[in-house]
Amino acid sequence: MKKFSFASIILLCMLLLTACDGGGSKGVSIAPADLAKQLAEETVTSDTLSEVSSDILASTYFVDMDQVEAASAYLNSGASACEATVIQTKDSSYAKEVETLFQNRVDSQTELYSSYNATETSKLNAAIIRTSGNYVVLCVCDDTDKAEEILTEAGF
What would the pLDDT profile of 95-147 be if each residue is shown by its tens digit?
999 999 999 999 999 999 998 888 899 999 999 999 999 999 999 999 999 99
pLDDT at position 28, please?
A: 81
The secondary element (H helix, E strand) that includes residue 34 is: helix 32-43
pTM value is 0.82
In one letter, which amino acid is 35?
L
Residue 86 has pLDDT above 80, yes or no: yes
Residue 107 inside a domain? The answer is yes
What percent of the chain lies above the pLDDT cut of 70?
Answer: 83
Structural domain boundaries, residue 61: 25-154
Count of domains observed in the chain: 1
Rounded to whole angstroms, the Cα distance separating 134 from 137 reads: 10
pLDDT, mean of residues 1-30? 47
pLDDT at position 3 over 70: no
Residue 18 domain flag: no
Nearest to 85 by CA among 47, 135, 28, 119: 135
10 in a structural domain: no
- In 81-123, the DSSP E strands lie at 83-89
Given a cut of 70, is residue 49 above it in pLDDT? yes
Distances, alpha carbon 81 to alpha carbons 38, 50, 58, 85, 131, in Å:
17, 13, 18, 13, 21
